[in-house]
Amino acid sequence: MTKRVAVLMGGWSAEREVSLVSGAACAAALRDAGYDVSEIDVTRDVGALLDALTPLPDAVFNALHGRWGEDGNVQGLLNMLDVPYTHSGLLASALAMDKAAARDVFAAAGLPVAEGVVAARDEVLAGDVLPRPYVVKPVNEGSSVGVRIVFEGDNFLGVEDWPYGAEVLVERYVPGRELTVGVMGPNGGAARALAVTEIRPNNGFYDYTAKYTEGRADHLIPAPVEAEVSDAALRYAVTAHEALGCRGVSRADFRYDDTAGGGPEGLIVLEVNTQPGMTPLSLVPEQAAHIGMPFGELVVWLVEHAACD
């Protein structure tokens, strides 16, 4: 019997448009692989979502990005329905999306994180809560949504109209290079890292626009870094994936400060994305292809390893 897969996509987060592209690409790949696929543009109408999932499919491919689709909310509903779904479960999703909580998990696992503090929005507006330069970011958004870097001499923090909640995560700015590592598993064995990619934005830092606009950033794979740095990044990514309890695929993002002589001590873990993009520009599909796993095979692997938890 042909396996029926529902692809959840869209949603109402700041990453809606990216999710629609991810979902369409994954749905097409699954159809090409012989699955019976339905595409569901998720809205706040839970009743409509339940209707769209009736009768229950054999598996759900979760292509949602950002809040409500990546933070444990949809995962909890799918757990209640007892339908297997791709990517991480409720707890890992919620932990990874809460950057402050994830930082605590990483530090407890012995991973290097930047000095940081969670502050009230009004505190950040009143003055520097860390020495400059520092990074201001929402506690629970993805894809660099809302991220600002505050350098010496800046007089505008950009949080006056902050729509991301009453709390702000402020971290020491780490100079250097942007690295990222995709991780797959577990699938009855240990998780494995895919590759190390260096991301070089063509203008400014790797913000939302640079991530999803063709030509705004170069992806260098494998990253042109020392072997010991690459090995450490691969190892740290797996440790972060396992410390959060992730499954399916995740992607760990790093800053690598090579301004003080290089070496693994310059690596800082920034965050783990439990629902990495699956667009034509996305990093995890690119890394999978680098190790010999085409996009369609990656999507099928995710469906075949879907689970409830």
Residue 303: which of 17, 22, 21, 27 has the closest Cα? 27
Q: Choosing from 39, 251, 256, 266, which is the catalytic residue?
A: 251
CA-to-CA dists, residue 131 to 71, 173, 176, angstroms: 31, 10, 18
Residue 142: which of 280, 278, 13 has the closest Cα? 13
* Cβ 133 vs Cβ 150: under 8 Å: yes
In the annotation, is 212 catalytic? yes
Residue 253: which of 143, 151, 118, 164 has the closest Cα? 143
In the annotation, is 72 catalytic? no
In the annotation, is 16 catalytic? no
Amino acid at 282: S
Conformational region of residue 110, where left means phi above 0, alpha means psi within -120 to 50, and beta covers everything else: left
CA-angle at 90, arms to 86 and 95, nearest 5°: 115
In the annotation, is 62 catalytic? no
In the annotation, is 251 catalytic? yes
Q: Choosing from 85, 164, 212, 256, which is the catalytic residue?
A: 212
> What burial letters (b/e) apply to 179-198, b meaning 16+ CB within 10 Å?
bbbbbbbeeeeebbbbbbbb
Residue that the structure tokens 């709390």 belong to? 167
In the annotation, is 271 catalytic? yes
In the annotation, is 273 catalytic? yes
Residue 208: which of 15, 5, 9, 2 has the closest Cα? 15
In the annotation, is 19 catalytic? no
CA-angle at 114, arms to 108 and 120, nearest 5°: 95
| Partners of 36 in beta bridges | 4
Q: Give the chain's length.
A: 309
Q: Choosing from 253, 256, 257, 266, which is the catalytic residue?
A: 253
* Cβ 59 vs Cβ 271: under 8 Å: no
Q: Choosing from 143, 144, 230, 250, which is the catalytic residue?
A: 143
Q: Choosing from 10, 11, 15, 206, which is the catalytic residue?
A: 15
The catalytic site residues sit at: 15, 143, 212, 251, 253, 271, 273, 277
